[in-house]
C-alpha cells in the first residue's frame, strides 16, 4: 500500500517533468508562428499566444525586401536530393562490395571506413576550400553534392543490414541464371535494402538540408543561396525593424521540415535508436 | 578447377564496387586533410597561390594568439555546461521510460516532442532564440517583466554569461532528446533477465539503476560522450548566427570553428592561421577521444548483454 502510493507520487512527478519538457519543445515554435502573424507594433506592445491577422502583410514585407524563400527551397532541395541519391547509391554499392566479395584489400577498405567515421569534417575545410577554389568550382553545387559519395556512416549502417538480412545464396543463384554482377546488385540487393536506405535517406537529406557552414564558405551568388543562408540574411539590417517579417521568415524555413518530421517521426526516432546500437 | 577460377574472378569485382567510395574519399576527404596540414606550414593568405614554407612558426604563433586561446576556452565552457545537464536529464528520462514498474504512458508522444528540436535547421533555431531574447521588447523580456521578475528590459546579448548560457541552453535543448533516445535503446538492449532476477531479490529502482543499468550502459555512454565531444568541438551555426558572426560580447561565444572560419574568409584571409587551428582542433579531438576510450572503456568484456 505504502509502496504503491510512493510509486503513484513518483509517476505524477515524472509526468509533470515530461509535460514541462514537451512544452519547452513546442513553445518556442508556437511563439514563432504566432508572431509571424502579428504586426511589428503588436509584437512590441506585448506577448501573445493567439495568432493575429498580419500574415499577409508580413509576407509582403518579406517579398518586398527581396526575401526569395522559394528560390532557397528550390536550391536546398536540389542539393539535398542529389546528395541523398548519390550517398545512398554509392554507400549501398560499397557496402555490398564489402559483404559479398572476398577481395584482398577488403579489410583495409573496411578499416578506412571505420577511421573516417572518427575524423570530424570541419578539420579539412580549409584544404577543401583551397581545392575547390583552384578547381574554379566556387559558386557551384558540385563540391556540396559529390563528397556524399563517400559517406562512411551510411556504408556502415547498410553493411550491418546486409549482413543481417541478405542471403548470399541469392547471388549464386542469380549468377547461374546468367545475371551480371552489377545486375544482381540492382535487381536483387537494392530492393532488399529499401528499409535501410529509407532510414539513412531521411538523415542524409535532413543533414544536407540543414547544412550551413559549407554553403556559407562556397556560395556567394545570392541567387544560389540555400535556405540556412537565407536565414542569415534575416539577421541583416534590411529587416531590422520588421519583427513580424523576421518571425514569418524563420517560420517559413522551419515549416516544411516540421511537417516532414511529424509524418516520419516514428521512423526517424527508430533510426536514431538503431544508429547507436549498431555503432 | 574451373569453378575455383570463376570464384577468384568474381571476388575481383569487389574492387569495382568500392572504387567510387575510395576515389571520392581520396579526392574530397584525404586530400583536403593533407592539404590543410601542408597549409599550416606555409604563410598562405589573401588571394596568393604560391606556397612559402615557414616551418613550425604558425604553431608557435597560434599558441600566443589571444583569440585562439579564447575560442578554445569558450568551446569547452559551452560544451561542458550543455553536456552535463544534457546527459543527466537524458539518463533520468531513459531510466524512467524503460522502467517496467512505472509503465509511463504516451511515450511515443513525448519522444516525438523531445527529439523535435534536433531536426530543425540550426540556423533557424539560432535566429529564433535571438528573436526570443532580443532587447528591449523580445518575448522573454516581456514575460519576465509581466511576471515581475525584471523591472526593466535586460539586454541578454551584452552579458558574457547570459550569451554563453543561451548558446549552451540551445545546444542542450536540441540534443537531450537525441541522447535520451540513444540511451533508452541501450537500456532496452540490456538482458531483461538481469532486472527480473534483481526484482525477485527485492532490489529497488535505485539499486537496479546503479548496479545494472549504469555499468552495462558504459559502451553506449562512451559513444554518446565521444560523438557529443566531436560535435561540440565543431560548434558553429548557433554561436555564429546568434551573434551575427562576431562571437560577442567580448568574444564570449567565439568557438574554434568560428575562429577558423573568420580567419580564412574575413579580412585578410589568413589561410595559414585557419589551417593551423584546424590541425590543432583535430589533435585536440583525437587526444580527448583516446582519453575517453582509455579511461572509460578499459573493461571491454563489459559489452555482454548489450546487443
* Residue % of chain B over a pLDDT of 70: 94
**pLDDT, chain A, mean:** 90
Residue A143 pLDDT more than 90?
A: yes
Of A73-82, B173-182, B247-256, which range is least confident? Answer: B247-256
More reliable by pLDDT, B83 or A164: B83
Residue B123 pLDDT more than 90?
A: yes
Do A235 and B241 contact (CB within 8 A), yes or no? yes
Instruction: List, for residues A183-222, the tens digit of each pLDDT value.
Output: 999 999 999 999 999 999 999 999 999 999 999 999 999 9
In this prediction, residue B301 carries a pLDDT of 43
Do B281 and A123 contact (CB within 8 A), yes or no? yes
Instruction: List, for residues B254-267, the tens digit of each pLDDT value.
Output: 999 999 999 999 88
Nearest to A260 by CA among A81, A82, A88, A89: A81
Residue A265 pLDDT more than 50?
A: yes
Determine the residue among B29, B105, B234 to mutate to test chain A binding: the one whose Cβ has the most chain A Cβ atoms within 10 Å: B29
CA distance A155 to B189: 23
Determine the residue among A62, A127, A140 to mutate to test chain B binding: the one whose Cβ has the most chain B Cβ atoms within 10 Å: A127
**pLDDT, chain B, mean:** 89
Contacts of B234 in chain A (CB under 8 A): 120-122
Instruction: List, for residues B213-238, the tens digit of each pLDDT value.
Output: 999 998 889 889 988 998 999 999 99
CA distance B165 to A107: 45
Contacts of B121 in chain A (CB under 8 A): 209-210, 212, 227-228, 231, 253-254, 257
Q: Which whole number is the average pLDDT over A39-56?
A: 88
CA distance A247 to A34: 8
Q: Which whole number is the average pLDDT over B37-63?
A: 89
In this prediction, residue B299 carries a pLDDT of 52
Confidence label for A273 from pLDDT (cuts 50, 70 and 90) = confident
In this prediction, residue B76 carries a pLDDT of 96
Residue A59 pLDDT more than 80?
A: yes
Instruction: List, for residues A8-32, the tens digit of each pLDDT value.
Output: 888 899 999 999 999 999 999 999 9
CA distance A33 to A248: 7
For residue B166, CA distances in Å to A72, A75, A82, B122, B151 come to: 28, 31, 35, 14, 21
Confidence label for B297 from pLDDT (cuts 50, 70 and 90) = low
Asked if A93 is an interface residue toward chain B (Cβ–Cβ < 8 A), one would say yes
CA distance A120 to A130: 18
User: Residue B282's Cα: distance from chain center in Å?
Assistant: 14
Residue B40 pLDDT more than 60?
A: yes
B139 min Cα distance to partner chain A (Å): 6
How many C-beta atoms surround the C-beta of residue A196 within 10 A?
A: 24
Provide the whole-model pTM. 0.90
In this prediction, residue B1 carries a pLDDT of 41
A122 min Cα distance to partner chain B (Å): 7
Confidence label for A120 from pLDDT (cuts 50, 70 and 90) = confident
Q: Residue B282, by phi and psi: left (phi above 0), alpha (psi -120 to 50) or beta?
A: alpha
Query: What residues form DSSP beta bridges with B53?
Result: B42
Instruction: List, for residues B137-174, the tens digit of each pLDDT value.
Output: 889 999 999 999 989 999 999 999 999 999 999 999 99
Instruction: List, for residues B83-107, the tens digit of each pLDDT value.
Output: 999 999 999 999 999 988 888 889 9
Confidence label for A46 from pLDDT (cuts 50, 70 and 90) = confident
In this prediction, residue A2 carries a pLDDT of 61
Residue B55 pLDDT more than 60?
A: yes
Asked if A126 is an interface residue toward chain B (Cβ–Cβ < 8 A), one would say yes
Residue B307 pLDDT more than 50?
A: no
More reliable by pLDDT, B125 or B102: B125
In this prediction, residue A276 carries a pLDDT of 61
ipTM of the complex in this document: 0.90
Residue A45 pLDDT more than 90?
A: no
Query: What residues form DSSP beta bridges with B42?
Result: B53
B146 min Cα distance to partner chain A (Å): 9
Amino acid at each position: 500500500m505504502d509502496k504503491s502510493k510512493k510509486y503513484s507520487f513518483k509517476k505524477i512527478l515524472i509526468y509533470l517533468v515530461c509535460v514541462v519538457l514537451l512544452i519547452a519543445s513546442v513553445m518556442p515554435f508556437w511563439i514563432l508562428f504566432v508572431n509571424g502573424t502579428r504586426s511589428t507594433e503588436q509584437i512590441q506592445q506585448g506577448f501573445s499566444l493567439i495568432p493575429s491577422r498580419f500574415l499577409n502583410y508580413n509576407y509582403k514585407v518579406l517579398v518586398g525586401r527581396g526575401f526569395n524563400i522559394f528560390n532557397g527551397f528550390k536550391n536546398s532541395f536540389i542539393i539535398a536530393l542529389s546528395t541523398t541519391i548519390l550517398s545512398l547509391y554509392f554507400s549501398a554499392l560499397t557496402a555490398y562490395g564489402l559483404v559479398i566479395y572476398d577481395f584482398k584489400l577488403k579489410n583495409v577498405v573496411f578499416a578506412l571506413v571505420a577511421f573516417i567515421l572518427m575524423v570530424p569534417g570541419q578539420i579539412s575545410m580549409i584544404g577543401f576550400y583551397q581545392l575547390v577554389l583552384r578547381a574554379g568550382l566556387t559558386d557551384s553545387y558540385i563540391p556540396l553534392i559529390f563528397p556524399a559519395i563517400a559517406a562512411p556512416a551510411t556504408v556502415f549502417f547498410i553493411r550491418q543490414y546486409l549482413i543481417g538480412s541478405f542471403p548470399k545464396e541469392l547471388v549464386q543463384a542469380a549468377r547461374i541464371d546468367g545475371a551480371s554482377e552489377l545486375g544482381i546488385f540492382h535487381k536483387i540487393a537494392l530492393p532488399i535494402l529499401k528499409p535501410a536506405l529509407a532510414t539513412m535517406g531521411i538523415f542524409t537529406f535532413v543533414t544536407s538540408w540543414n547544412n550551413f557552414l559549407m554553403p556559407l564558405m562556397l556560395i556567394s551568388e545570392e541567387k544560389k543561396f540555400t535556405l540556412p543562408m537565407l536565414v542569415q540574411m534575416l539577421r541583416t539590417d534590411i529587416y531590422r525593424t520588421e519583427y513580424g517579417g523576421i518571425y514569418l521568415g524563420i517560420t517559413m524555413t522551419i515549416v516544411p521540415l516540421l511537417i516532414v518530421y511529424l509524418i516520419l517521426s516514428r521512423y526517424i526516432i527508430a533510426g536514431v535508436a538503431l544508429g547507436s546500437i549498431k555503432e | 578447377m574451373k569453378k575455383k577460377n570463376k570464384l577468384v574472378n568474381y571476388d575481383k569485382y569487389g574492387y569495382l564496387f568500392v572504387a567510387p567510395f575510395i576515389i571520392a574519399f581520396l579526392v574530397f576527404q584525404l586530400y583536403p586533410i593533407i592539404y590543410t596540414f601542408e597549409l599550416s606550414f606555409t604563410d598562405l593568405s589573401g588571394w596568393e597561390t604560391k606556397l612559402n614554407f615557414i616551418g613550425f612558426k604558425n604553431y608557435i604563433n597560434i599558441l600566443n594568439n589571444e583569440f585562439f586561446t579564447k575560442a578554445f576556452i569558450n568551446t569547452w565552457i559551452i560544451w561542458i555546461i550543455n553536456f552535463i545537464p544534457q546527459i543527466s536529464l537524458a539518463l533520468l528520462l531513459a531510466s524512467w521510460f524503460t522502467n517496467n514498474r512505472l509503465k509511463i504512458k504516451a511515450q511515443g508522444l513525448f519522444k516525438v516532442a523531445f527529439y523535435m528540436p534536433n531536426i530543425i535547421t540550426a540556423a533557424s533555431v539560432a535566429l529564433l532564440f535571438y528573436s526570443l531574447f532580443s532587447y528591449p521588447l523580445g518575448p522573454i523580456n516581456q514575460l519576465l517583466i509581466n511576471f515581475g521578475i525584471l523591472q526593466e528590459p535586460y539586454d541578454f546579448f551584452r552579458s558574457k554569461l547570459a550569451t554563453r548560457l543561451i548558446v549552451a541552453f540551445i545546444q542542450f535543448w536540441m540534443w537531450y532528446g537525441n541522447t535520451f533516445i540513444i540511451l533508452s535503446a541501450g537500456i532496452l538492449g540490456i538482458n531483461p533477465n538481469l532486472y527480473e532476477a534483481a526484482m525477485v531479490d527485492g532490489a529497488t529502482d535505485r539499486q537496479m539503476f546503479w548496479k545494472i543499468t549504469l555499468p552495462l550502459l558504459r559502451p553506449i555512454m562512451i559513444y554518446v560522450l565521444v560523438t557529443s565531444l566531436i560535435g561540440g568541438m565543431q560548434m558553429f551555426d548557433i554561436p555564429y548566427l546568434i551573434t551575427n558572426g562576431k562571437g560577442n560580447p567580448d568574444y564570449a561565444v567565439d568557438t574554434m570553428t568560428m575562429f577558423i572560419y573568420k580567419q580564412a574568409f574575413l579580412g585578410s584571409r589568413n589561410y595559414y592561421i585557419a589551417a593551423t587551428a584546424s590541425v590543432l582542433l583535430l589533435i585536440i579531438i583525437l587526444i580527448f577521444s583516446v582519453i575517453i576510450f582509455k579511461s572509460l572503456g578499459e573493461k571491454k568484456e563489459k559489452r555482454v548483454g548489450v546487443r
